[in-house]
Chain A
Amino acid sequence: MELLVSMLVPLILAGTALYGMARRVDVYDALLSGAGEGLGVLLRIVPALAALLPAVYMLRASGALELASGILAPVLEAVGIPPETVGLMLVRPVSGSAALGVGAELISAYGPDSLVGRTAAVMLGSTETTFYTIAVYFGAAGIVKTRYAVPAALCADLAGFLAAAWAVRLFFSS
């Protein structure tokens, strides 16, 4: 099972190439022309990230997230989310690597099979780095007017956090 998961990417590459050959497609030429297009996309992503990441890094360095954690903890307890996970919830939408770091910290500090550890793991597994995704997609597509994408995406994050806490209680409350 583990081998299959780790071989997934090469298997998809091989499968796509074989299928293409069978359908008489010049696989290598298609690969090159698609990859060339990728380079153009990259040029549009760089400015989007160069704008977003300094703000994310500044926010992390300022201690604002810790401050917000203190204020939000009682609210979270009221809706059934372990207050220890507040730091994770705050960094999750802005930084994937920071969230993984905070989550790993919680999991090892409280134990992987504790309520907090499990909730942190499920939160990590069921949400994405929202602001990064928005910056990359809209940057690549040249979108300036984002309309309601940000609030709708944050709704999904919030629902994911609540659902993670509830799901852990549902499956492991014995």
Chain B
Amino acid sequence: MAMAAIWTGMVVVSILCGLAQGSGTQVAAAAVEGAAAAVELSLSMAGILCLWMGVMEVMRRSGLAEGLSRLLRPVLGRLYPAFARDREVMDSISANVSANLLGLGNAATPLGIRAARLMSRRTPGVASDGLCMLVVCNTASIQLIPTTVAGVRAAAGCRTPFDILPAVWLASALSVCAGILAAWGLSKLWRD
């Protein structure tokens, strides 16, 4: 229901604000534009999605995914206790985390989606604690080298575009920790 409330809120607020500020026509046009952009965006990620799902299948069949997840198991097993013994899920999450760390956002999404689909088999239609944790960890960035931002800084004439790295790492770590703590705390408190 959270998304239903947020979605309705966004639309109502947009219309009220648009009317109050005289940008009603732009708001109306934006709704149609957004729907078109959704299909464009989906199509633009279709190729990458298929490619990385394919690569993941190669990694799974060759045992590379298993090796990766053995490396990350001490941490991930604790974050996803319900799935710690589910090999396929742990392999996918490990690949997702590795891609995120390497800054391969395009690869991380398909790998994470694969994990989400495997996890949702146990609780169809409902976000289990593990699924919530997966989504929260992916909404918090854990990228080691933020190349896009560094590019923007360099374009603005910065000579040392990577000097923000320690600050980015600290902020990312705190943000991920806050997300994990929030997800863990809410999992104890949440009553459906």
Task: List residues of chain A with CB under 8 Å of any chain B CB.
Answer: 5, 8-9, 12-13, 16-17, 19-20, 22-23, 25, 27, 30-39, 41-42, 45-46, 49-64, 67, 100, 103-104, 107-108, 111-113, 117-118, 121-131, 133-138, 140-153, 155-160, 162-164, 166-168, 170-172
Contacts and interface: CB of A to CB of B under 8 A. Distances in A.
A144 B126 contact: yes
B167 A118 contact: yes
A33 B58 CA distance: 9
Contacts of B167: 118, 122, 164, 167-168, 170-172
Contacts of A39: 46, 50
List the 8 shortest-distance A-B pairs measured between CB atoms, nearest first.
A34-B57, A156-B179, A160-B175, A159-B178, A57-B34, A125-B146, A54-B34, A112-B158
A159 B180 CA distance: 11
B72 interface: no
A130 to B, nearest CB: 4
Contacts of A142: 120, 124-125
B141 A140 contact: no
Contacts, number: 363
Interface residues of B, number: 106
A9 B174 CA distance: 28
Contacts of A103: 149, 152
Given A55-B14, A111-B156, A153 B135 contact: yes
A51 B7 contact: yes
Interface in B91-131: 102-104, 107, 109-110, 112-114, 116-117, 119-120, 124-127, 131
Contacts of B74: none
Interface in B8-64: 10-11, 13-18, 21, 23, 26-27, 29-35, 37-39, 41-42, 45-46, 49-64
B14 A64 contact: yes
Interface string B139-161: 11101011111001101111001
Contacts of B58: 16-17, 20, 25, 27, 30-31, 34
A100 B155 CA distance: 13
Interface string B68-107: 0000000000000000000000000000000000111001
A111 B158 CA distance: 8
Given A8-B104, A56-B34, A137 B116 contact: yes
27 contacts: A23-B63, A30-B62, A32-B54, A41-B49, A49-B41, A55-B14, A62-B13, A62-B14, A62-B16, A62-B17, A63-B23, A103-B152, A104-B152, A112-B157, A113-B158, A118-B167, A121-B149, A126-B146, A140-B116, A143-B126, A151-B186, A152-B132, A152-B186, A153-B179, A155-B179, A168-B167, A171-B167
A58 B30 contact: yes
Nearest to B24: A62
A8 to B, nearest CB: 6
A136 to B, nearest CB: 7
A107 B152 contact: yes
A54 B171 contact: no
